[in-house]
Structure 1
Amino acid sequence: MQKRKALSSDEAFLLSEKVFKNFIEYFKPFSGQNVHIFIPIIKFNEIDTKIFIDYFLSRNINVFVPKIVDRKLISVQIFNDTSFETNNWGISEPVSNEDSEVLNFNYVITPLLYCDQKGNRVGYGKGFYDAFFASISSESKKIGVNYFNPDEIVDDIYENDIPLDYLVTPTEVLSFLTKGLE
């Protein structure tokens, strides 16, 4: 969190663009696919996903964003004319509380504080994404995005924690799908 907050807004935007380019080059999303993507918390200097969302919407890729309703993360489909409001945590969310009930996503682009070299994700400690991951299709690719490459092991893993499949950084895309299968 400290390393991320130390980035200037210009540095964060340039790194976000690099993460975006690496994502597009590696995954090559196309029209008709379903992408679930978070809206960044500006005060936490998260990856700027507006770049992703604009790209997806301009290419007829179905875009879904998270919203917490009754202590559960739901998936709301958004469009170019979707209305948003800021919640109590300072997160921009769609005004609609209508859960799309889509469970089959091609990509779930996930916020995180850190991800280690095994795909273990450190979030904000509420468990919303682990519960969400458990509810969606196992074929959905769980992708973390971060400004920094992993260099430390996450050792406080809990029973309900679900690791990521990929991590996209400004310099590379790491896959955790083949680890331990060799």
Structure 2
Amino acid sequence: MSFKNEIRLEIKNKFLSISQHEINEKTLLIQQLLNKQELFQKAKKIGLFMPIEFEPKLVISKDKKVYIPFIKNEILGYGNISKGISVGTYGILEPKSKKEVNIFELDIILVPLVGFNEKLYRLGRGKGFYDKTFVNIKSETKRPVLWGVGFEMQKTNLNFQEKHDAKLDKIFTETKIYE
């Protein structure tokens, strides 16, 4: 088993001892931290993930346009949810309309994670879609900010990051904002 897969398994096992009620309470705390951010308040277009398993289920106010990812050519495109959502690749909800928004039009992209470290690297599910998508935008000056969203119990002190991993701008948990 690879080093990253060992970390994924260790974190996934932590979730076996936490109730859905606790996840909901922690998600509410994350939501409150996000809502207090000036950039979040001002943002008009937000990239949002559709949660699976133990990921936080965030709510975005109706005054913002929400775009969710879909897989295209091994990277992510973001489409508006105004035309609805449907089950897509890997059983994850995707926008029904695959009309893609230019990723540079998004103000913030909220990113799920399996794990993370204090150096602002996220550990994903292992397919690399987010990393492949973000590697090309990190060097741009006018770009969306990349905010990871997860729970404090997903933090590891290990340096698992590799050259191809994209660093986030901030990571939000129920107790802290890492920046």
Q: TM-score range by the shorter chain?
A: 0.7 to 0.9
Q: Counterpart of 2:135 in 1: which secondary structure?
A: helix
Matches for 1:107-146 after TM superposition, within 5 Å: 107-136=108-137, 137-138=140-141, 139-146=143-150
Distance 1:151 1:103, change over 3 A: closer
Bigger fraction of residues in helix? 2
Q: Aligned-pair RMSD on alpha carbons?
A: 2.1
Structure 2 CA distance, aligned partners of 1:83 and 1:150? Answer: 31
Question: What amino acid maps onto 1:65 in structure 2?
Answer: I
Whether the aligned pair in 2 keeps the contact of 1:107 and 1:140 (CA below 8 Å) is: yes
In the superposition, relative to structure 1, how do residues 111 and 164 fare at CA in structure 2: closer, same or farther (>3 Å)? same
CA drift at 1:4: 2.8
5+ residue gaps, structure 2:
1-11
CA distance in 1 between partners of 2:75 and 2:69 (Å): 10
The share of aligned pairs that are identical, in percent, is 23
Distance 1:104 1:83 in 2: 20
Q: Could you tell me which residue of structure 1 aligns to residue 171 of structure 2?
A: 167
CA positional deviation for 1:170: 0.8
Distance between the aligned counterparts of 2:57 and 2:116, measured in 1?
18
Query: Which of 125, 147, 156 in structure 1 is aligned with 2:151?
Result: 147
Gaps of at least 5 residues in structure 1 are 176-182
CA distance in 2, matches of 1:90, 1:151: 26
With the length of structure 2 as denominator, give the TM-score of the two structures.
0.81
> Aligned letter for 1:132?
T
Number of aligned residue pairs: 165
Q: Distance in 2 between matches of 1:142 and 1:151?
A: 17
- 1:18 is aligned, of 29, 33, 44, to 29
Match of 1:179 in 2: none
